[in-house]
Structure 1
Amino acid sequence: MTAINNQGTTVIVPVILCGGSGTRLWPLSRESYPKQFLKLAGEHSLFQQTIIRLASLAQNKLKVEKPIIVTNEAHRFLVLDQLHQIDQSATIILEPVAKNTAPSLTLAALQANELYDNAVLIALPADHAISNDNDFCTTLTAAISAVITADIVIATLGVTPTYAETGYGYIECQTVDTKLNYHKVARFVEKPNLQRAQAYIEQSNFYWNSGVFIVKSQFWLAAIEKFDNAVFHGVSSAWHTKKLDTPFIRPNADLFKAIPSNSIDYAVIEPCTSTDSNYQLGMFELSTGWSDLGTWQAVSDYQKADKAETNDNVWLGDVIGIDTTNCYVHAEQRLVSLLGVDDLIIVDTDDALLIAHKSHSQDVKKIVNKLNEDKRVEANTHRRVYRPWGWYQSIDECERFKVKRICVQPKASLSLQKHHHRAEHWVVVKGTAEVTCGSETLLLSENQSTYIPLGVTHRLSNPGNIPLEIIEVQSGSYLEEDDIVRLQDDYGRG
């Protein structure tokens, strides 16, 4: 029985799969702040755009429930902050480790089953760009209707390929259902080499796999139990011993870590399309612009329509180009100038600079691998580090001192803490600070300062309605982040 609400409307539950790392978009995307949280295609992040897009779906007279977001434990406060920025709420399931998309969707299906009677799930990647939300939701609505009426057990969205892309999976289709206007799926093909990709786009029945899947929760659970029993039982065990820590749901970490990694495609979709399967899968063709923005080449191509300068260049930031063609430049803090070059990707951040030929766009992750081998922090973190209360950014450091810029959001507070190896000077440059230092509490406004001696219990809070910014100068024998003893914390950190 399909899930219905009190008015008899089918219940649709969006599932936002928000666990990617986006290593091919380094240095902008890093493990601590991956691409789904970046603004790569508009004024909102890709994650926020995915949430906002659901409003267009609701306009199609579908009962769309609050989304379920499955994300990494380390990104929980990023998710909360970005939801708050767009005034949205969601059910948030935290994975202690990344295990690919099949366990993620299984967690969401188990959660949906606790709330509804066989809801229709829409599995949506959190890091894709869509050029027209209304067109996307019109196609998605047709796919949902086909699953509701049981014409097909799983629906997906396919994109007509425009070039031989080796970074996408492909869908091979058979006949077209003339009543519901969907393509019957023959098979899913993983990322091909260039020769095979070229052969696919020369045929009219191959499409890019968008990674969007529509399926009833109970069918998904039955299918994952049948085709990948280890994932089903592992996730079920972790789910039934979960911890509820409002607003988060935490599956049992030890049990979840033992689950094998698998994708939706490998675990269920491909077995469903095998020759001895009686399941009918349908692909609906997505006519609007779509990209997974998986490489800098893809980002450049997507942005070119709106931001192209002369000679097929795309500039973001302070850029000068002379005798330069087909280059993509993302400049965050300083002037970047180009002279007599072609087909380059240049991404300049405050602590790393990437220069790559566009033909090597797929290989940027090799740099990340090398940085990890060398244990370089630039592989995974930016100088600006986000925390549940705001962020801090390293400005300068040398032996026995470090300088930071710290921003505390309105009404937020750092933990009550102390340090064993460093003292701190704080200078307020914006807003109002409430400072606890030992037994004393004081208010500081712009251009006022205070001193926190080594070993003294202290706390920084923002009582105001605008962000608080301070400059912090640390001095001492050891200045790393693990020299923090938290005595009280509003965010449940130890």
Structure 2
Amino acid sequence: MKLIPVIMSGGVGSRLWPVSREAHPKPFMLLPDGQNLIQKTFRRAAALEGVAEVMTVTNRELFFKTEDEYRLAGGGAVAQSFILEPFGRNTAAAVAVAALQLQEVYGADAQMLILAADHLIKDESAFANAVVKARQLAAEGWLVTFGIRPEYPETGFGYIEADQDTPLAGGFKVNRFVEKPDLETAKQYLAAGNYLWNSGMFCFRVGTLVEQFEAYASDVLGAVRETLSRSRLSEGHRHRAITLDAEAFGEVPDISVDYALMERSQRVATVPCDIGWSDIGSWNAMSELTEADANGNRFDGEVLVHQASNNYVQSHGRLTALVGVENLIVVDTPDAVLVAHKDRAQDVKHIVSQLKRNGHDAHLLHRTVNRPWGTYTTLEEGERFKIKRIVVKPGASLSLQMHHHRSEHWIVVSGMARVVNDEREMLLDTNESTFIRAGHKHRLENPGVIDLVLIEVQSGDYLCEDDIVRFQDIYGRANG
């Protein structure tokens, strides 16, 4: 029986700002071991027995970034497919889209394993054993959720009440799902012994899931079917991507799979797990990945302290020093610094809300921005000028484009550039440059086998990224 892990990569992780941002969300954050969560999730999924392919549901703006991460994770050995959302529409829509697509490709007996892209699982052997148990239950027609045995009275997670009077092979029937409790209720759940943290991971037989959607959430399933009928499919070698139609997808009910289906169905089971699971939901959780010193301080980067205790500091770009403080979270990035009390770590999301209301880009972008062809980093900007460092991957190309309000000067730092500048085409070597006047069509390409690095100096009356007309683009972004 084929198994298709479905990686759900739709969350932003606003409580982990300023590192996590909409264009660089939590799954892409580097952990102290040098890997990120989406790489770990992909490797963990691909290593399971019986995997036919790994499917990922993500925002279409993160498609190329995700592909790059999978490539670094050794993704060439397993087939991949993608569901590309125009915007987030909660988990019921994502799960239903994946189920209908997998039913069409593999049939009703295939099994799908829903995994979050931003969860950490330390005991991968225990995880694989839990998946085996879940697959057995799924084959019997159960909708299976993975319940984490609680270690302490956590108020930040939903809980699953297992029916201990209805044991199943490898798990239990679920009595009910309960919302995040207050502390006293969480203590009662811990003492009872049959309450589990709701991990948000699931295993289904595809046909059973579709039948249950028909019975309990037919409005979701119908809207998803309409969306798929109007969406665009592209296929290549061991690769398939569906770009969902934005207008139709906007009509899908915005509801979680828990509310839409799991809390209504009578065929829900849970597999209790001890797998070293964490959702890395705050800077406090992130700090636990770093060893503490004698005073309880945890550091990721170059940090000096004097009479400071129980602090967490992440600072990769420069030296950070703490003097006479305790219980602080300090996170330093090139364009933003967070200082928070550890007891208020969950409130970081309110800063992100303020940034959005104020129209500040710091909720969305870092100074270094990923694009399908590489990256650009804003080095400096002021009135009528902006300076960027641009890196173009080997064989990659920017679109044939034009700007109305700005001119650009390109200076090659390393590598070789092929440039279209209006009617001219030229090769530029290291230390060579060209000037592109506003209104001229132009394109930048890396024909070499190493990264092309150049400095771009923009000048003009309007320097925002939306001053662009694309005429041709190999990544499907042309608009003119």
Q: TM-score, length-normalised on structure 2?
A: 0.94
Moved more, 456-465 or 195-204: 195-204
Name the CA distance, whole Å, in 2 between partners of 1:308 and 1:425.
Answer: 48
Matching residue of 2:286:
299
Q: Which of 190, 203, 209 is equivalent to 1:201?
A: 190
1:12 and 1:120 in contact (8 A); partners too = yes
Matching residue of 1:212:
201
2:119 and 2:278 in contact (8 A); partners too = yes
Matching residue of 1:243:
232
Moved more, 406-415 or 321-330: 321-330
> Could you list the per-position Cα deviations for residues 390-415 of structure 1 after superposition, in whole angstroms to 9, with x for gaps in the alignment?
11111111111111111111110111
1:177 and 1:183 in contact (8 A); partners too = yes
Q: Which of 45, 51, 69 is equivalent to 1:54?
A: 45
Q: One-letter code of the match for 1:227? A: Y
1:42 Cα offset (Å) = 3.4
Corresponding pairs, count: 470
1:163 Cα offset (Å) = 2.4
2:32 and 2:300 in contact (8 A); partners too = no
Q: 2:263 aligns to what SS in structure 1? A: helix
- Given the superposition, is the C-alpha separation of residues 484 and 252 from structure 1 closer, same or farther in structure 2, using an over 3 Å criterion? closer
* Aligned ranges 1:296-375 → 2 under 5 Å: 296-301=283-288, 303-304=289-290, 307-375=291-359
Moved more, 213-222 or 86-95: 86-95
1:178 Cα offset (Å) = 6.4
Q: One-letter code of the match for 2:242? A: I
Q: Which of 90, 102, 105 is equivalent to 2:95?
A: 105
Name the CA distance, whole Å, in 2 between partners of 1:94 and 1:464.
Answer: 30
Q: Which of 134, 137, 147 is equivalent to 2:138?
A: 147
Q: 1:332 aligns to what SS in structure 2? A: strand
1:41 Cα offset (Å) = 5.8
Matching residue of 2:82:
92
Q: 2:318 aligns to what SS in structure 1? A: coil
1:289 pairs with 2:276? yes
Moved more, 387-396 or 455-464: 455-464
1:82 pairs with 2:69? yes
* Aligned ranges 1:164-179 → 2 under 5 Å: 164-175=153-164
- Given the superposition, is the C-alpha separation of residues 124 and 138 from structure 1 closer, same or farther in structure 2, using an over 3 Å criterion? same
Q: 2:181 aligns to what SS in structure 1? A: coil
Q: 1:333 aligns to what SS in structure 2? A: strand
Identity %: 43
Name the CA distance, whole Å, in 1 between partners of 2:124 and 2:130.
Answer: 10
1:57 and 1:141 in contact (8 A); partners too = no
1:446 Cα offset (Å) = 2.5
> Could you list the per-position Cα deviations for residues 403-451 of structure 1 after superposition, in whole angstroms to 9, with x for gaps in the alignment?
1111111110111112221111112222222222223222223222222
> Could you list the per-position Cα deviations for residues 125-144 of structure 1 after superposition, in whole angstroms to 9, with x for gaps in the alignment?
11100112222111111211
1:114 pairs with 2:98? no
Name the CA distance, whole Å, in 2 between partners of 1:193 and 1:389.
Answer: 48
Name the CA distance, whole Å, in 1 between partners of 2:170 and 2:207.
Answer: 25
1:11 pairs with 2:2? yes
Matching residue of 1:3:
none
Name the CA distance, whole Å, in 1 between partners of 2:182 and 2:175.
Answer: 20
Q: Which of 214, 221, 226 is equivalent to 1:225?
A: 214
- Given the superposition, is the C-alpha separation of residues 236 and 179 from structure 1 closer, same or farther in structure 2, using an over 3 Å criterion? closer
1:294 Cα offset (Å) = 1.2
Name the CA distance, whole Å, in 1 between partners of 2:230 and 2:207.
Answer: 20
Q: Which of 468, 473, 477 is equivalent to 2:452?
A: 468
2:164 and 2:194 in contact (8 A); partners too = no
1:259 pairs with 2:252? yes
Matching residue of 1:162:
151
Name the CA distance, whole Å, in 2 between partners of 1:55 and 1:472.
Answer: 40
Matching residue of 2:181:
192
1:23 and 1:365 in contact (8 A); partners too = yes
Q: One-letter code of the match for 2:11? A: G
> Could you list the per-position Cα deviations for residues 258-310 of structure 1 after superposition, in whole angstroms to 9, with x for gaps in the alignment?
111111111111112xxxx4x2x322222221101111111112x03xx3333
2:159 and 2:179 in contact (8 A); partners too = yes
> Could you list the per-position Cα deviations for residues 134-177 of structure 1 after superposition, in whole angstroms to 9, with x for gaps in the alignment?
221111112112222x1x51222111222232221111112176
Moved more, 49-58 or 407-416: 49-58
Q: 2:192 aligns to what SS in structure 1? A: coil
> Could you list the per-position Cα deviations for residues 326-370 of structure 1 after superposition, in whole angstroms to 9, with x for gaps in the alignment?
211111311111112111111111111111111111111111111
1:102 and 1:264 in contact (8 A); partners too = yes
Q: 1:65 aligns to what SS in structure 2? A: coil
Q: Which of 359, 367, 383 is equivalent to 2:367?
A: 383
1:323 and 1:341 in contact (8 A); partners too = yes
Matching residue of 2:381:
397
2:415 and 2:451 in contact (8 A); partners too = yes
Moved more, 173-182 or 152-161: 173-182
Q: 2:295 aligns to what SS in structure 1? A: helix
Q: 2:152 aligns to what SS in structure 1? A: coil
Name the CA distance, whole Å, in 1 between partners of 2:94 and 2:407.
Answer: 43
1:64 pairs with 2:51? yes
1:312 Cα offset (Å) = 2.4
Q: 2:200 aligns to what SS in structure 1? A: strand
Matching residue of 2:127:
136
Matching residue of 1:4:
none
Q: Which runs of 5+ in 1 are unaligned?
A: 1-9
1:41 and 1:129 in contact (8 A); partners too = no
Q: One-letter code of the match for 1:51? A: F
1:157 and 1:286 in contact (8 A); partners too = yes
1:154 and 1:213 in contact (8 A); partners too = yes
Q: One-letter code of the match for 2:34? A: E
Name the CA distance, whole Å, in 1 between partners of 2:184 and 2:23.
Answer: 36
Name the CA distance, whole Å, in 2 between partners of 1:266 and 1:179.
Answer: 24
Q: TM-score, length-normalised on structure 1?
A: 0.91
